[in-house]
Chain A
Amino acid sequence: MKYRSVFDIIGPIMIGPSSSHTGGAARIGKVARSLFGRKPKWAHISFYGSFAKTYKGHGTDVAIVGGLLNFDTFDERIKTSLQIAKEEGIDITFQEEEAIPNHPNTARIRLGDEKGELELVGISIGGGKIEITELNGFELKLSGHHPALLVVHNDRYGAIASVANVLAKYAINIGHMEVSRKEKGKQALMTIEVDQNIDSSIIDELKTLPHIIEVTKIMD
């Protein structure tokens, strides 16, 4: 079931005018910011489907940039986010794509700074609820509503078990888990949704495991 909480239906509290095109867009932006882990220097945002056709009317552009600035859906600063981004020296560009997406409300965000880049695809499925469907070329399914771990690892036996063992040691329950790879035997991505926030010392421990390349956490 896609919707589990009553507050997915009655909520979120948000700046109008559209839960999918404004509220959801802000959430996609905020997940991108959270995954990148710091303020980006630049962001290139592509809109598909209904997003591409109506983003100006719905304020999808200001909302997604508001999210990149780490604003919540109800933050009044969303309205002036493009100005704020400019003042903070973030170079933002938008593109309307003609390609037909799998979901009508799709955005692709590429962002980065001198230290690194990140690319993700988010969809806004209605009522402000979102899913992240692609991260750095890996397919995944992430609601952004639970704390989650994203682990890039070598596609080898034992890698998944070693991560699960560390989580078990700290009594952290896995609510949902997926593994995705682009090619057999190369890099793969574990997406692990958990019930509680994870201490950064646990992240550090996970990073020391064999075959683990990168570990990122997303807070609730």
Chain B
Amino acid sequence: MRAGISIVLLCCLLLAAHAPVQAATEAPDCFIDQGPCTKTATGRQVAFEILPRPVKAMKELTFAVRAIGRNTAPTVLLDLSMPGMYMGRNEVILKKTPDGSYSGKGIIPRCPSGKKLWRAEVTIPGAGKVSYTFNVNP
């Protein structure tokens, strides 16, 4: 009995990372290689862009956010994650630029499993959170 439980536990641990954690319905809602993506957060339009394009993993990238309206916050927080797969905390602080947008540099790691769907969650003080799901070229 105990042996059986141990084997089940071992199998669960080994299968945990190989399980198709990325839901079948998960699909990109932003085609970041084609240009900025715009979404609405508490009535304000927020555009998100990554340069250079095509967006590649393991390369230094410039992340930019432009929110329509008056932006008083000196920084906004960008949280990069992989849907359904814990990849550690990868945050980029975007600083306000003279033109009123926010910009910062960061890196999106490559997942050796072949998964390429990433999510960027932008937290704008006063405007809440908005997330973009997009594919990254390996």
- Say whether A and B bind each other: no
Interface residues of A (CB under 8 A from B): none
Interface residues of B (CB under 8 A from A): none
